[in-house]
Structure 1
C-alpha cells in the first residue's frame, strides 16, 4: 500500500499551493496501479499470459515510484535530518518505514516477475534463476505485510469516529490483500516444489486466483485512500486534532528562532574556532583624565 494522508501537515509535496493537488495525483496514480495489477492477474488466465506479466511489471513500477515520492515528501518535511527520528516513533515507523517497505516489496515482486518473463522469452532453463524468482514473489508480499502492520501505528491526538473509519477502511483492505499475496506465493512455491515446470508454468492457478482477490482488495483500498485524502483535506479542527510533538515540533522550534539553522551552525563553528585561538595581550587604553593631566603639565613647563 501507500501512505499518503499523514497525521501532520509538514509534508512537502512540492510548493505549498500545489500540495493538495499533488497528493490527489499520487492517490489517483495508486488507484491506476492497482487496477493495472488486477488486469495483469486476469490476463494470466488468457491465451497470452506474457501480456499479463508486462501489466504486472508496469503496475509494480508505478506503486514503487508513488511510495518513493511519498517517502521523499516526508523526509523533506524534516529537512532530510534522519537523526530527528530518535525523538519521534511515528515518524520512524509510519512516515519513513511504511513507504520504504512498500517500495522495497514492490521492487522484489517486480524482479521476481521479470526473471520469469526473461525465462519465458529466451526459452532457456535456469533453475537458480527460477528459484530466486519464486523466492522474490514471496519476499515482496512479506514486506507489504510488514508495511501494512506499521501503517496501523499512525495515530492522532483526537479524532472522531468518521476519521477512524476512513483510516481503517484503507488499512484493512491493504493488510488483507498483502496477506493474500503472501499466502498465494507460499502455496505456489510449495506446489511447484514437486513439479518439473519452467517459465510461466511456475505460476500456478492458485497463485493467479489468490492474486486476483488480493488485487481486488488493493483496488478497494486505493479508492478508500482517495476518499481519505479528500476528507483529510476538508476536515476541520473540531473533528480532528493533528499529531503534535516529536521531531516536527523540534524542527519548528528551531525554525522559529531568530537565527536560521545554517547561520546558527556557522556561528557555533566560529565560536569554537575563536575559543581555540591564542589570546594576545593588548595594551590597556589610557583614561581620558590622564591625557588631560599630561597635556596641562606640558603647557606649564
Structure 2
C-alpha cells in the first residue's frame, strides 16, 4: 500500500473545501482498512477462520478504493492529458505508475483470498485454484513492495524538512509492512509445498503472524498519513514545492496563457509611457548605456 503526497503545488481535483474533505476521508478510510486487515489476520486463529477471510477481502477492497482515489487525484492535476507525461518523468513513473501497481497488488491479494474462500464454501473440488491462490498471495505483496520502493523515488525542490520527515514516516512503514507480507507468503508457499493440505489449512501460522505484523506497520503508516494530511491542509508553510517544467505547470500556462518567467517579469515591471505633449520631444533612452536602476526609477 502507498499513500502519495504529491510533489505538485496542489492536488487540483475540485473546490478546496471538498478536496480537503476528500483527503481526510481517504486517509481515514485507509486507517479503517488497516484495522480490518489486522482483525482479519487475527481471526484466522479463532474458531471461525472463514470470517477472517471475509475481513481480508473487505480490507483489500478498501485499499483498492484508497489507491484509486490517489490515482484519480493525480490524473486530475493535469486534466487527464496523458501525452503530457512525456514532459514529466515523475508524473509517469511515480504519481501514475505507483497507484496502478498498488491497485494491481491489492487485486491479486483479493483474488487469492477469494479463491481460498470459494474452495472453503464449495468443498475440495477446486484443487487447481489452490496453486493460483498461493501464487497470488505472493504476487500481490511483491507489487506492493515494488510500488513502495518506487514511491521513495519522489523528487522535491526545496521542500520543507518537516514535510519530508512526515513523508518518510508514511513511506517506510508501508515498505516494511509490504516486505513482511511478501516474506510471509513466500515462506508459507514453501511450507505448503511439502504438505498435502487444502482449504484454509494452506494459510500457515507463519503467514498469519507476519500478516499481523504487517498490518500493525500499515496502521502506523496510516496514522502518520492522517497527521501529514492535516499538517499539509492546515499550514500553508508545510507544503511540497511543485516541480518546475512539469506537466501541471505546462497545463496552467496553457490555460492562462502564461509566457516564460523572464518575459512575464519584464512585462510586469514595464509600464506604459506617458503621452508626449505637443511640441515636446521624447527623450532618447539607450538601454545599453542606461543603468538598470535608473530604468526602474524612470519607469
Q: Which bracket does the TM-score occupy, shorter chain normalised?
A: 0.7 to 0.9
- Structure 1's unaligned 5+ residue stretches are 259-301
Match of 1:121 in 2: 121
Task: Report the 3-state secondary structure (helix = DSSP H, G, I; strand = E; otherwise coil) of the residue aligned with 2:6.
Answer: coil
Structure 2 SS opposite 1:131: helix
Q: Separation in 1 of the partners of 2:146 and 2:251?
A: 29
Match for residue 92 of structure 1? 92
Q: What is the 5 A alignment of 1:270-289?
A: none
Matches within 5 A, 1:170-249: 170-237=170-237, 241-249=241-249
Tell me which residue corresponds to 1:5.
5
Indicate if the aligned counterparts of 1:4 and 1:23 stay in contact, CA closer than 8 A: no
- Pair member with larger Rg: 1
Structure 1 Cα separation of the partners of residues 208 and 67 of structure 2:
25
Cα distance in 2 between the residues matched to 1:187 and 1:14? 45
CA change 1:145–1:233 in 2 (3 A) is same
Distance 1:49 1:39, change over 3 A: same
Q: 1:12 to 1:124 in 2, by over 3 A?
A: farther
The separation in 2 between residues aligned to 1:167 and 1:193, in whole angstroms, is 40
- Report the secondary structure of 1:92's partner residue: helix
Task: Please give the residue correspondences for 1:125-144 in structure 2 after superposition, counting only pairs within 5 Å.
Answer: 125-144=125-144
The two structures have a TM-score, normalised by structure 1, of: 0.82
The answer on whether the counterparts of 2:24 and 2:226 sit within 8 Å (CA) in structure 1 is yes
Unaligned runs of 5+ in 2: 259-299
CA distance, structure 1, for counterparts of residue 239 and residue 24 of structure 2: 21
Judged with a 3 Å threshold, the aligned counterparts in structure 2 of structure 1 residues 239 and 39 are, in CA distance, closer, same or farther, namely: closer
Distance (whole Å) between structure 1 residues aligned to residue 164 and residue 87 of structure 2: 25
Other-structure match for 1:294: none
Query: How do residues 106-117 of structure 1 correspond to structure 2 at under 5 angstroms?
Result: 106-117=106-117
The SS at the match of 1:210 is helix
Q: Is 2:45 aligned against 1:45?
A: yes
Contact 1:160 1:240 in 2 (8 A): yes
